[in-house]
Structure 1
Amino acid sequence: MTLTELRYIVAVARERHFGRAAEACFVSQPTLSVAVKKLEDELDVKIFERGASEVTVTPLGEEIVRQAQAVLDQAAAIKEIAKRGKDPLAGPLRLGVIYTVAPYLLPDLVKQTIERVPQMPLMLQENFTVKLLEMLRTGELDAAIMAEPFPDTGLALAPLYDEPFMVAVPRSHPLAQRERIASEELKRETMLLLGTGHCFRDHVLEVCPEFARFSSDAEGIRKSFEGSSLETIKHMVASGMGVTVVPQLSVPKEPHPHVAYIPFAEPTPTRRVVLAWRRTFTRYEAIAALRNAIYACELPGVRRLS
């Protein structure tokens, strides 16, 4: 049994396809397939069920893959320990960020990181919360910035900030003249929502639960519309198609000619943004440096957490 073989079975379990797993490992498919079969023969168990279009992991294989990932983490930890002896911050940090945080935090964060720890470049990945959690579990990411709540996966967490929500309305809308808006008042409006998979969509539906029933049936399309990104939805608001809810950091610094951003009336709905990493990740200094870089960002209107 070799680390290479363990790396191969983790890749196959992740990709559910031998060809894609071979590409991810930069080897030919026959090389990977032979190595996986050799490991199965050595262990005298079947790790994968080979189907015509997809590979599935057997129940026993799931346990083996989890243990293989733990072994790979420990092997990587040995290398990290050696690196830390020279420079604890040396080497890239693979960071995932959810879609509704990345555009508004990363430009400043990358700048702060370059200034503070130039020897630790960030390798960035934008994705949905579910995908980032999976990438953390499989070791594809070192850390991720996400919004609570999400399933308890045994990760280490550090709270970063609480971010209030704002209401975005067309400048021509009567609500644009208000100083604050109660969530109940949005019941009468055409709500623009992010598509399924975005955790911020769920946050908005918590604030305005009555719109949940519109998001799954055809009749409701008259009342709510879905977009692929916050910026797309803001353009829809600007064109007068409806109103939406956005996180504070996405509000532009300069007034928008066609969109007004109005605070909620108390109690103001918020989301908690956190930094998550595997408990087996040994570059503690890198996590601390990343948190310090985040705290050095402007973050207007949010409540920083220690």
Structure 2
Amino acid sequence: MTITQLKYALAIAEHKNFTKAAEKCFVTQPTLSTQIQKLEDELDIIIFDRSKKPIELTDVGRKIVYQARNIVNEADRIQDIVDQQKGFIGGEFRLGIIPTIMPTLLPMFLKNFIKKYPKVKLKIEELTTEEILTRLSDGHLDAAIAATPLESDNIKERVLYYEPFVAYIPENHRLKDKKVIEVSDLSIDDMLLLEDGHCFRDGVINLCKTFKDQMDETFQLESGSIETLIKLSNEGMGMTLLPYLHTLDVREKLSPNLRHFKEPSPAREVSIIYHKSELKMQIIDAMHNVISGIIRGAIAFQNVEIISPKAK
């Protein structure tokens, strides 16, 4: 068997289609099919059940694909070792970023990173934390930026910064006259939240539940974007919590609605995360250094209490 055959098998397992897998591998469909057939003949087993639509792995095929992923990753480490030995920082780098971090952090570091490391070909996707963990485990991402800790055995985390929660309180809200907010002031009953699937939503729920015995998760409104939450709040539908970097883009006339928390401020921990195999560490190190250097000037908060991004 060959590494190429194993890569073809991984592509088919991902796309569940020979034609799409061939396109992904930049070969013709007959070439890919022939190599998979040779692999199956050599092993004297069937990896893919071609009678199913879409194509499915057989029981033994699942075990082979799992092992193939480990072998391909280890083969990639050889080139990675050579790149590190030569001090080369370049090549394709697939990065995932969660939605509540992407719009604020990416514009802050992307231009600087590209200018400093022009040989790195970044491929960036906006993904949920669940999607990120799956793709890191499957080898479809090299690294990601997400709220941590995630407590995953296969993932390593390197903290980039701590981002405090900031309250957005509109006119006529019960907390409008408070200059500094305490966590005990929060009520889940008038809290506008991001829709399910966002880890920042889970962080807010965890924060409220820590100090309020309110297990009824029935909310007035949920939205897919922080900008919409601000607009709904301005319409008197409730208050919301924002990540600190999002407050830097709040229009000047709305900035009086922002309230900081009494220290230690509740905050989320933002990290660059990657698979424990530690491939492409020279690029991960470079990205960590660039982001850490830039963010230091934007967030000066130190006295914080980290709120878990995981649903409880």
Q: Which residue of 2 aligns with 1:265?
A: 262
Q: Does 1:242 align with 2:238?
A: yes
Question: Unpaired runs of 5+ in structure 1?
Answer: 215-219
Q: How far off its partner does 1:137 sit?
A: 1.8
Q: Which residue of 2 aligns with 1:117?
A: 117
Deviations 1:13-61 (A, max 9, x none): 2234444434433445554444334323322233334564434434433
Counterpart-to-counterpart distance in 2, 1:17 and 1:303 = 50
1:231 alignment partner, one of 210, 227, 233: 227
Q: Which residue of 2 aligns with 1:294?
A: 291
Tell me: CA distance 1:285–1:26, structure 2 relative to 1, closer, same or farther (3 Å). Answer: closer
Tell me: CA distance 1:171–1:51, structure 2 relative to 1, closer, same or farther (3 Å). Answer: farther
Tell me: CA distance 1:150–1:49, structure 2 relative to 1, closer, same or farther (3 Å). Answer: farther
Moved over 6 A (4+): none
Q: Which residue of 2 aligns with 1:213?
A: 216
Counterpart-to-counterpart distance in 2, 1:188 and 1:280 = 41
Residues 106-255 of structure 1 aligned to structure 2 (within 5 Å): 106-187=106-187, 189-209=189-209, 213-214=216-217, 220=218, 223-252=219-248
Deviations 1:137-158 (A, max 9, x none): 2222211111123241322321
Counterpart-to-counterpart distance in 1, 2:191 and 2:51 = 43
Tell me: CA distance 1:255–1:11, structure 2 relative to 1, closer, same or farther (3 Å). Answer: same
Q: Which residue of 2 aligns with 1:275?
A: 272
Q: How far off its partner does 1:111 sit?
A: 2.5
Q: How far off its partner does 1:206 sit?
A: 0.2
Q: Which residue of 2 aligns with 1:217?
A: none
Task: Kindly indicate whether the alpha-carbon contact (under 8 Å) linking 1:157 and 1:277 is maintained by their aligned counterparts in 2.
Answer: yes
Question: Unpaired runs of 5+ in structure 2?
Answer: 305-312
TM-score, normalised by the number of residues in structure 2:
0.82
Tell me: CA distance 1:20–1:153, structure 2 relative to 1, closer, same or farther (3 Å). Answer: farther
Counterpart-to-counterpart distance in 2, 1:44 and 1:235 = 62
Residue identity opposite 1:284 in structure 2: M
Q: Which residue of 1 aligns with 2:2?
A: 2
Counterpart-to-counterpart distance in 2, 1:67 and 1:56 = 17
Q: Does 1:285 align with 2:256?
A: no
Counterpart-to-counterpart distance in 2, 1:233 and 1:31 = 51
Counterpart-to-counterpart distance in 2, 1:169 and 1:58 = 55
Q: How far off its partner does 1:7 sit?
A: 1.2
Q: CA RMSD in A?
A: 2.8
Task: Kindly indicate whether the alpha-carbon contact (under 8 Å) linking 1:95 and 1:122 is maintained by their aligned counterparts in 2.
Answer: yes
TM-score, normalised by the number of residues in structure 1:
0.84
Moved more, 285-294 or 117-126: 117-126
Counterpart-to-counterpart distance in 2, 1:187 and 1:276 = 32
Q: How far off its partner does 1:3 sit?
A: 2.1
Counterpart-to-counterpart distance in 2, 1:56 and 1:243 = 47
Counterpart-to-counterpart distance in 1, 2:170 and 2:108 = 28
Residue identity opposite 2:286 in structure 1: A
